[in-house]
Amino acid sequence: MTITRIDPEDRWSEAVIHNNVIYYTSVPTDLRDDAYTQTQSALAEIDKILARANSDKSRILDATLFLVNKSDFPAMNKAWDEWVVKGKAPVRCTVQAGLMKKEYLIEIKIVAAVNS
């Protein structure tokens, strides 16, 4: 079975595909101090990597959202609700976490099916 690593580096790969499933962790590229904006940014990065892998957000199976501030939950949900495909929402959980880069308010880990 083939394992495809997208943009591999010594410490991590941007994404990994195995058995027609992609594994990816998204971080925001727009680091304004606003959870809504950062969530939109991280979701846009998900769209980009899924397109590269011949998939899209309707094929996401599982999402874990790591949120620094519990008070940002409504802002994060607003961005998520605007983005997620209605009727095709993945399994999802949100965890309050301290992230490794202090500017990050959110990180999003997804697992999605890839079109074969």
User: What CATH number did the domain enclosing 73 receive?
Assistant: 3.30.1330.40
Mean pLDDT score across all residues of the chain: 97
Q: How far is CA 78 from CA 37, 51, 75, 84, in A?
A: 10, 23, 5, 10
- Name the residue range of residue 30's domain: 26-108
In a domain, 115, yes or no: no
The model's pLDDT over 73-94, given as tens digits with 9 standing for 90+, comes to 999 999 999 999 999 999 999 9
**Residue 46 maps to a domain:** yes
Of all residues in the chain, the percent with pLDDT exceeding 70 is: 100
Q: Is residue 116 part of a domain?
A: no
Would residue 54 be called left, alpha or beta, if left means φ above 0 and alpha means ψ between -120 and 50 degrees?
Answer: left
In the chain, which ranges are E strands? 3-8, 13-18, 21-26, 60-67, 91-96, 106-113
At 115, the pLDDT band (50, 70, 90 cuts) reads: confident
- Say if 21 falls within a structural domain: no
Q: At what angle are helices 73-83 and 35-52 packed, to 10 degrees?
A: 40
What's the number of domains the chain is made of? 1
Average confidence (pLDDT) over 42-63:
98
Give the pLDDT score at 1. 76
